């Protein structure tokens, strides 16, 4: 059955929603008017011609052209997944994008989020089995599903969105789906990318050497953006960024501002400072300066806070005064994953937090690093969505030309691959080195991963998956933590390890407001276990539960209620996996014995991350790296041996979340 653009347009304008046979709401009609303006809508005929003819197609188009919100809907009109028990999937590298876009598309289709349109991200499944026919999901979740159902039979079409991000999971999915397409001629694939450099995908997905996969190009309608560089290098990009935002606010015409920073702490800090300064300006000169609202955007924000980025700017203070302005301070998320209309000014300090792995010393660290030219261009493009804009790059033109790399490297070339290799083995990939990667990782990185998985007993000496490894692969956790959890019943403390791992999976438990650092540190000290940061996390969670999960308790103890709720969600999901794979939930009950057992269980998974005291410092056992205890560490002494959860490199090499251990464990 072939659908035509005409039929779809008639259905969109019709009296009844074909997906639930209800009359359309007024909100639907309002949104539809906007959708009709999108380039993806204008090229519907062309899209269906290609989609019905080809099993695999590549889609490129500028950010904001409608790839993520419109293409999956067009596919639904063709596949009619709801009428034959199938699902159309659209993957996203970022969970926040999957959640936000699913909500938007549910509204656009006049359907209910969590029913017909859903999302599935780690620890949060908003789908209804048998009802959901359009599913936004992280690439990691689809990869996980593939380990249980290699043919992914429930899907009629799979859209790998934001493929230009080249995340680990998307890269592996490309390899798997390329193979799967041969086995399942009924499955359709769409690979979408925001960068125009799609040839690589076309070639990779070519049917024969001579015929690359077809390319569907969505014509962007962007306005010119004027680029400004600094004359001299900026030594303090953070201060410069705030100054620039305020300068734009004072001097430039109506239009919202998007500032790119690197992480949550920096972003919250900037929002506070900008807000205070802007209020001062407004007080000094209410006739010339408009009101300003500063909104943070980063991945650990809850859905309600995320949604604020789409709020209109604040209204004028008086009818003749200047218009209000919205300032969004965001991580990379706003680069291509989420489109915010109304941005006219972009402030780009030229940095982002990037994951860097060095297989030589097995150290993986998140580093604030210069972005690529491609990223800088994407950021600039965000200013030209609705009208001509301006982009302020806080670096010199010479640095842009000389210092920035052209493209970011795909994650598979720079990340640790332990978890990926375990997934591949579980998927039945026999030869990890010769898998059909779009870019093959360094053999050394693969070897390190195989070695680590062997130490963890997930793989035997021949590289075959063990029973333990098979279960480890089922948990959406780093293999070391999965191992810890699975062996914890042997130590009669799986109940506690489950809590600790859930707490480790969320960010920023502790609140430390700039003006209340002392109070926050005092509150933390009361919850601290002097031997173990891991046990401290356990204490916090248990104290919260004992206080009926009361947000006031969290507030007065300077811990984040939101993070605790997230940890609770993670805990529930992990617990149901434990039930499914027969990992008993047990506890010896409170006492010193319990604490020791928890620490012993941690060693079973994290034994590769142990450091020994040498003088005032620590040295890692595996690679002889000099490291320091992170300032957030709550230990009241410096034990001979410690186990650590992560290594981070900031001003110094630090180990964070630390537990004292006994070498005989």
> Applying CB under 5 A, which residues contact Mg ion?
67-68
Q: CB under 5 to 8 A by kind: which of Mg ion, ligand ADP, none does 64 bind?
A: ligand ADP
Which one of ligand ADP, Mg ion, none interacts with residue 65, CB within 5 to 8 A by kind? Answer: ligand ADP
Alpha-carbon span 111 to 127, nearest angstrom: 13
Residue (63 or 78) nearer to ligand ADP, CB: 63
In angstroms, what is the minimal distance from the CB of 97 to Mg ion?
7
Minimum CB separation of residue 157 from ligand ADP in Å reads 16
Closest distance of CB 189 from ligand ADP, Å: 17
For 585, phi and psi rounded to 5 degrees?
-100, 100
Q: Closest distance between ligand ADP and the C-beta of residue 84, in Å?
A: 26
Min dist. Cβ of residue 168 to ligand ADP (A): 21
**Cβ nearer to ligand ADP, comparing 342 with 634:** 342
Q: Of the two residues 339 and 528, which places its CB atom closer to ligand ADP in the complex? A: 339
Residues 6+ apart with CB under 8 A from 214: 50, 53, 54, 57, 58, 202
CA distances from 314 to 39, 129, 285, 310, 448 (A): 29, 41, 17, 12, 53
Which DSSP symbol is given to 591? S
66 binds, among ligand ADP, Mg ion, none (CB under 5 to 8 A by kind): ligand ADP
Minimum distance from residue 381 beta carbon to Mg ion (Å): 13
Q: Which is nearer to ligand ADP, 63 or 645 (CB)?
A: 63
The partner in contact with residue 311, picked from Mg ion, ligand ADP, none with C-beta cut-offs of 5 to 8 angstroms by kind, is none
List 330's β-bridge partners, or say none: 260, 297
Backbone φ and ψ of 345, nearest 5°: -125, 135
Sheet of 56-61, strand order: 124-126, 117-121, 134-138, 87-92, 155-160, 188-193, 56-61, 215-218
Minimum distance of ligand ADP from residue 635's CB (angstroms)? 44
**341 contact choice in ligand ADP, Mg ion, none (CB below 5 to 8 Å, kind-dependent):** ligand ADP
Q: Residue 78's binding partner, choosing from ligand ADP, Mg ion, none, with beta-carbon cut-off 5 to 8 A by kind?
A: none
Nearer to ligand ADP, 193 or 554 (CB): 193
Nearest residue to 170 (alpha-carbon basis) of 93, 101, 68, 69: 93
Distances (CA, A) of 631 to 225, 510, 522, 618, 628: 43, 13, 15, 14, 9
* Cα–Cα distance for residue pair 44/52, rounded to 1 Å: 12
61 binds, among ligand ADP, Mg ion, none (CB under 5 to 8 A by kind): ligand ADP
Closest to ligand ADP by CB, 37 or 397? 37
Q: Give the number of other Cβ atoms within 10 Å of residue 55's Cβ.
A: 17
Nearer to ligand ADP by C-beta: 5 or 367?
5
Q: What does 157 interact with, of ligand ADP, Mg ion, none (CB < 5 to 8 A by kind)?
A: none
Bridge partner list, 154:
none
For the CB of residue 339, give the shortest distance to Mg ion in the complex, in Å: 7
* Phi and psi at residue 422, to the nearest 5°: -60, -45
- Which among Mg ion, ligand ADP, none contacts residue 342 (Cβ within 5 to 8 A by kind)? none
SS3 letters across 628-646: EECCCCCCCCCCCEEEEEE
Nearest-CB residue for Mg ion: 68
From the list 600, 601, 612, the residue with the least C-alpha distance to 642 is: 612
Least spacing, CB of residue 38 vs ligand ADP, in Å: 6
Q: Considering CB distances under 5 to 8 angstroms, the limit depending on partner class, which of Mg ion, ligand ADP, none binds residue 602?
A: none
Q: Which is nearer to ligand ADP, 107 or 533 (CB)?
A: 107
Tell the residue number behind the tokens 């900031």, with chain if given.
Answer: 650
Two structure tokens written together for 346: 């972009």
Nearer CB in complex with ligand ADP: 34/632 = 34
CB 144 within 8 A of CB 151: no
256 versus 533: smaller Cβ distance to ligand ADP: 256
69 binds, among Mg ion, ligand ADP, none (CB under 5 to 8 A by kind): ligand ADP
With vertex at residue 472, the alpha carbon angle to CA 467 and CA 478, rounded to the nearest 5 degrees, is 155
Closest by CA to 422, choosing from 462, 461, 459, 467, is 459
Query: E strand or H helix at 188, and its extent?
Result: strand 188-193
* Nearest residue to 559 (alpha-carbon basis) of 529, 525, 515, 534: 525
Q: From ligand ADP, Mg ion, none, which one binds at residue 310 (CB under 5 to 8 Å depending on kind)? A: ligand ADP
Between 64 and 479, name the residue whose CB sits nearer to ligand ADP: 64
Of 38 and 432, CB closest to ligand ADP: 38
DSSP 231-281: SS--S-HHHHHHHHHHHHHHHSPS-EEEEE-SSHHHHHHHHHHHHHHHHHH
Smallest gap from Cβ 220 to ligand ADP, in A, equals 9
Residues that bind ligand ADP (CB under 6 A): 38, 61, 63-70, 100, 104, 310, 339, 341
To Mg ion, the closest distance from the beta carbon of 72 in angstroms equals: 11
> Considering the complex, what minimum distance in angstroms separates the CB of residue 165 from ligand ADP?
12
């Amino acid at each position: 059955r072939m659908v035509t653009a005409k039929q779809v347009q008639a259905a969109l304008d019709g009296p009844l929603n074909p997906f639930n046979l209800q009359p359309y709401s007024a909100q639907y009609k309002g949104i539809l008017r906007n959708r009709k303006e999108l380039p993806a809508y204008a090229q519907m005929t062309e899209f269906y011609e290609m989609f019905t003819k080809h099993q695999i197609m590549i889609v490129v188009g500028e950010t904001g052209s409608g790839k993520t919100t419109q293409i999956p809907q067009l596919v639904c009109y063709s596949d009619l997944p709801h009428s034959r028990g199938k699902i159309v999937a659209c993957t996203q590298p970022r969970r926040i994008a999957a959640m936000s876009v699913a909500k938007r598309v549910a509204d656009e289709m006049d359907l209910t989020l969590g029913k017909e349109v859903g999302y599935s991200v780690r620890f949060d499944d908003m789908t209804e089995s048998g009802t959901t026919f359009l599913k936004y999901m992280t690439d990691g979740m689809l990869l996980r599903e593939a380990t249980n159902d290699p043919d992914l039979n429930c899907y009629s079409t799979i859209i790998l969105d934001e493929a230009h991000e080249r995340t680990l999971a998307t890269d592996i999915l490309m390899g798997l789906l390329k193979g799967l397409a041969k086995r399942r001629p009924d499955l359709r694939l769409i690979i979408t990318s925001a960068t125009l450099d799609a040839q690589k995908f076309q070639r990779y997905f070519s049917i024969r050497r001579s015929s690359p996969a077809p390319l569907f190009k969505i014509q962007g309608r962007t306005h010119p953006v004027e680029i400004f560089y600094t004359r001299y290098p900026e030594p303090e990009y953070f201060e410069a960024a705030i100054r620039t935002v305020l300068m734009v606010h004072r001097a430039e015409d109506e239009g919202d501002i998007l500032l790119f920073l690197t992480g949550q702490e920096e972003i919250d800090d900037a929002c506070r400072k900008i807000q205070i300064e802007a209020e001062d300006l407004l007080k000094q000169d209410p006739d010339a300066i408009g009101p300003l609202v500063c909104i943070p955007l980063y991945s650990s924000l809850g859905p309600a806070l995320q949604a604020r980025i789409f709020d209109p700017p604040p209204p004028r203070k008086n009818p003749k005064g200047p218009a209000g302005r919205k300032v969004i301070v965001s991580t990379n998320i706003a680069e291509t994953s989420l489109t915010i209309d109304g941005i006219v000014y972009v402030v780009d300090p030229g940095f982002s937090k990037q994951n860097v792995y060095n297989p030589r010393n097995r150290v993986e660290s998140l580093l604030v690093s210069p972005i690529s030219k491609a990223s800088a261009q994407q950021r600039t493009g965000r200013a030209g969505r609705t009208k001509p804009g301006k982009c302020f790059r806080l670096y010199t033109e010479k640095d842009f030309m000389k210092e920035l790399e052209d493209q970011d490297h795909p994650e598979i070339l720079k990340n640790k691959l332990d978890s990926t290799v375990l997934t591949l083995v579980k998927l039945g990939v026999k030869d990890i080195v010769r898998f059909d990667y779009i870019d093959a990782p360094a053999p050394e990185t693969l070897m390190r991963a195989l070695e680590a998985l062997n130490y963890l007993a997930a793989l035997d000496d021949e590289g075959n998956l063990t029973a333990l490894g098979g279960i480890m692969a089922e948990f959406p956790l780093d293999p070391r933590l999965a191992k810890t959890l699975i062996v914890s019943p042997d130590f009669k403390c799986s109940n506690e390890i489950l809590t600790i791992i859930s707490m480790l999976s969320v960010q920023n438990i502790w609140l430390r407001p700039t003006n209340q650092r002392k109070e926050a540190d005092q509150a933390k000290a009361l919850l601290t276990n002097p031997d173990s940061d891991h046990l401290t996390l356990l204490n916090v969670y248990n104290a919260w539960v004992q206080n009926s999960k009361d947000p006031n308790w969290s507030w007065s103890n300077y811990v984040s209620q939101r993070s605790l709720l997230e940890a609770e969600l993670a805990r529930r999901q992990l617990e149901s996996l434990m039930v499914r794979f027969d990992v008993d939930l047990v506890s010896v009950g409170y006492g010193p014995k319990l604490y020791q057992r928890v620490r012993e269980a941690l060693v079973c998974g994290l034994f590769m991350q142990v450091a020994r005291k040498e003088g005032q410092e620590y040295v890692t056992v595996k690679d002889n790296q000099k490291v320091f205890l992170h300032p957030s560490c709550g230990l009241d002494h410096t034990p001979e041996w410690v186990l650590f959860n992560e290594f981070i490199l900031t001003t110094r090499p630090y180990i964070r979340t630390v537990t004292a251990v006994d070498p005989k464990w």
